[in-house]
Each structure stands twice: as structure tokens, then as C-alpha cells.
Amino acid sequence: MHWDVVWNNMEYFLLGQYPAGPVGGLALSIILAVGGIFFAFWIGLVFGLMRLSKRWYVRIPSIVYIEIIRGTPLLLLIFWFYFLAPILLKRPMPEARSTLAAFSVFTGAYVAEIVRAGIQSIPKGQMEAARSSGLTYVQAMSSVVLPQALRNMIPSFVNQFVSLTKDTSLAFIIGVLELTRAATQVNNRTMNAPAEIFFTIAVIYFIICFGLTQTSRYLEKKLSYRTSGRIRREEIELLEDSFEAPN
């Protein structure tokens, strides 16, 4: 076993050539994941709302986007952006940026489904009551329905973030110097410790993803307790009690 190879290159795994050169390794993986989920959130919010529209010319494009992206392997999507971007922009695009675009568009489709499910989980009465109190559709959506729905969606968002973090390893394929690429570089250079290197890389990913998964489970429990039917029924009973005339 050659664990010294792993320890000698740990800084390269975590930061790449950072102080001397561009950021790489785990730091770049995290940047890609955080950036990807940020853009994916806005894309997903727009397409999720479009998906629920009653107008077919708004709904259909969103369905097409979601179904196409969900049926395509991420690897192919990365190739699409890698080869298409230079032709569309008429200038070369850095690999890291084109994978970031691919991650955002890919995760956006999944976030759109989360947003749709989240909004559908809010009782219809909320929207109806908000509309009948004089709010417009946009006002009712943005200040009544969405705030409640978004809170329920938090665990699913965290899960999506976990799978995006794992997926950033695919940026490897077009030469982005993130954690997996750094590992293969060190492996190609040293040649004598492949199992040790990739096991260490797996553990690094595991620490981050498992931590996030546990957070999501904790949030799920906390949120489901607050919104569970039991609580609501108690609140309703309290309300009913208060309507009864005191003796």
C-alpha cells in the first residue's frame, strides 16, 4: 500500500494549483456544484411555474424541456454544450464554464419537477382564498403559495444538490481540473497507488454528500412535524373551540 502518495498530493486534491495557478480539485467541484444549483434554482422555478400554467403554449415548452433533459444522460449534455457553445458564440468557451451551463440546464429540469410537486402539495384553498381577497395571480403566487411551497421543497433541494455534487465528477470528461480529474492526473503520474487514490477521493465525496444527506433527513423530519395533519387538526380543533360560546 502506498498511502504516502495520497498524503503528498492531498493539497492538490483539495485546492488544485491554487495559490500558484487556477483553483482546482475539490474547491472547483464545490464551486461548480454551488453555481450549478444557483442557476438551476431559477431555471427550475420558471419552468416549474410554466409547467403548471393553464395556457398550453406556456405549458408545452416546459414539458418538452423537462422530458428531453430528464431522458438524456448528463454526459451527452456536457458534450452538447462543449461542442455547441463555440459555434453559437463564435469564440471558444472555457471548459469549466460550459460544464457549469450543462449542470444548470440539467439540474434545472429536475428542480422544475420539485417546484411543481411543491406547489401542488399546497392545498388549493390557499390560492383560492388569496385570489378572493383581491390579490392578482402573481401576487398570490409570490406572497402566499410560493413561500409555503419553497419551505416544503428544502429537503428535495438538498437531495438534488447532493446528486449535483456527485455529478460534477463528470466535468472530468472534457478536461475540467476538478477533484476526479486531479485524481486521475496523480494516478497517471504515480502509477503505483490507484486503489488508494480513488478510495480517498470517494471518501472525500462521501463526507460532503453524506453530511448533506443527513441534513436533508433532519430538515425533512422537522418540516413534516410542523406541517403534519395532526398539528393542523389540533389547530382546527382549537379554532372550533374558540367559536363556541363560553358558558
Question: Which residues here bind other proteins, judged by CB under 8 A?
Answer: 67-68, 70-76, 79-80, 83-84, 87-88, 162, 166-170, 172-173, 180, 183-184, 187, 194-195, 198-199, 201-202, 205-206, 209-210, 213
Alpha helices in the chain (DSSP H): 3-8, 10-15, 25-51, 56-71, 74-89, 95-120, 124-132, 137-140, 146-167, 179-190, 194-227, 229-243
Q: How far is the CB of 161 from other proteins (least distance, A)?
A: 12
Q: How far is the CB of 165 from other proteins (least distance, A)?
A: 8
CB nearer to other proteins: pick between 150 and 209:
209
CB nearer to other proteins: pick between 104 and 187:
187
CB nearer to other proteins: pick between 7 and 199:
199
CB nearer to other proteins: pick between 3 and 42:
3
Q: How far is the CB of 78 from other proteins (least distance, A)?
A: 10
Cell numbers given for 233 = 387538526
| CA–CA dist 61, 107 (Å, integer) | 17
Q: How far is the CB of 229 from other proteins (least distance, A)?
A: 18
Q: How far is the CB of 212 from other proteins (least distance, A)?
A: 9
Cell numbers given for 90 = 463564435
For residue 106, give the nearest of 66, 62, 136, 53 by alpha carbon: 66
Asked whether the beta carbons of 142 and 75 are under 8 A apart, the reply is no
CB nearer to other proteins: pick between 141 and 157:
157
Asked whether the beta carbons of 45 and 233 are under 8 A apart, the reply is no
